[in-house]
A and B are shown apart, each in its own frame.
Chain A
Amino acid sequence: ETGVTQTPRHLVMGMTNKKSLKCEQHLGHNAMYWYKQSAKKPLELMFVYNFKEQTENNSVPSRFSPECPNSSHLFLHLHTLQPEDSALYLCASRQAGTEGSNTIYFGEGSWLTVV
């Protein structure tokens, strides 16, 4: 149990589908992230939210749409994805302004396959 819970753990979707990934953190943190992890590549930062406000969007295509209704919940809405979007999507959180606040804590990830 990492304190960051992601659902679903596995998702298969067609290119015309719309689906959402959900993340909930139970750590009382004030920053949340979406990362993409593809085979043999470094983790790619997608979005950052600080205190529910989006502070970074790393040139992510508009077919990925984040939503952060409060400090504990983060969504990634998916629509008209491409097969190359198949990857492990990781949610993470951090408590800014504390000792060790540079460290982030990850969820177990959502395995996405686009067919």
Chain B
Amino acid sequence: NAGVTQTPKFQVLKTGQSMTLQCAQDMNHEYMSWYRQDPGMGLRLIHYSVGAGITDQGEVPNGYNVSRSTTEDFPLRLLSAAPSQTSVYFCASSYSWQKDYEQYFGPGTRLTVT
């Protein structure tokens, strides 16, 4: 099993550009989520999904969109990049939406917005 995969590994955007961060898992997990990790702060939840066709906002959703058309894929779209979105983005999946289940994380995407 590949687990959780993310692409790209690194990305540089100019302010105002849009892009999609890809995330896929091959563990048939129903729950998937996106986090951003900034220095000195805990992981912050952006969006999450409890199953195909179901998504919801997390703690910091502004400027991001998600969709979940299949169990495997959960892309994150940046609509109009801003320097404040410079961060490391992690996709995670879990067997169940119940948060005491272990989350499996992808390797992350390091995004810089200039």
Q: Do A and B bind each other?
A: no
